[in-house]
Amino acid sequence: MIEEMRCTIESLGGEFRFQSKVDDLDIEDGQIRGVKLASGERIPASHVVLAVGHSARDTFQMVFERGVRIEPKPFSVGFRIEHPQSMIDQCRFGPSAGNPLLGAADYHLVHHCRNGRSVYSFCMCPGGTVVAAASEPGRVVTNGMSQYSRNERNANAAIVVGISPADYPGHPLAGMELQRQLEERAFELGGSTYDAPGQLVGDFLNGKPSTRFCSVIPSYTPGVHLCDLGSALPDYAIEAIREAIPAFDRQIKGFAMRDAVLTGVETRTSSPIRILRNDGDLQNPAVRGLYPAGEGAGYAGGILSSAVDGIKVAEAISLDIAQKMNERK
329 — pLDDT class (breaks 50, 70, 90) = confident
If one counts every other C-beta atom within 10 angstroms of the C-beta of residue 194, the result is 17
Task: State pLDDT tens for residues 63-110.
Answer: 999 999 999 999 999 999 999 999 999 999 999 999 999 999 999 999
Residue 80 has a pLDDT of 98
What CA–CA distance (Å, rounded) separates 56 from 245? 32
Residue 301 has a pLDDT of 84
Contacts of 304 (CB under 8 A, 6+ apart): none
Residue 100 has a pLDDT of 92
Residue 303 has a pLDDT of 86
Given a cut of 90, is residue 242 above it in pLDDT?
Answer: yes
8 Å CB contact between 137 and 90: no
What CA–CA distance (Å, rounded) separates 276 from 91? 44
Start-end of CATH 3.50.50.60 domains in the chain: 2-71+273-328
What CA–CA distance (Å, rounded) separates 25 from 308? 25
Q: Name the fold adopted by 2-71+273-328.
A: FAD/NAD(P)-binding domain (3.50.50)
- Mean pLDDT value across residues 45-64: 94
Considering only 5-9, 38-42, 50-54, 158-162, which range has the smallest mean pLDDT?
50-54
Task: Collapse the DSSP code of 23 into the 3-class scheme (helix H, G, I; strand E, B; otherwise coil) and give the result.
Answer: strand
Task: State pLDDT tens for residues 280-303.
Answer: 999 999 999 999 999 999 999 888
Residue 293 has a pLDDT of 97
8 Å CB contact between 310 and 293: yes
Residue 322 has a pLDDT of 94
Given a cut of 90, is residue 308 above it in pLDDT?
Answer: yes
49 — pLDDT class (breaks 50, 70, 90) = very high
Residue 28 has a pLDDT of 95
Distance of CA 172 to the CA centre of its chain: 18
Burial of 100 (0-12, 13-18, 19+ CB in 10 A): exposed
What CA–CA distance (Å, rounded) separates 165 from 183? 18
Given a cut of 90, is residue 54 above it in pLDDT?
Answer: no
Task: State pLDDT tens for residues 187-209.
Answer: 999 999 999 999 999 999 999 99
Question: Which segments of 18-171 does DSSP mark as H helices, in order?
Answer: 57-65, 85-93
Given a cut of 80, is residue 180 above it in pLDDT?
Answer: yes
Radius of gyration of the chain (CA): 22
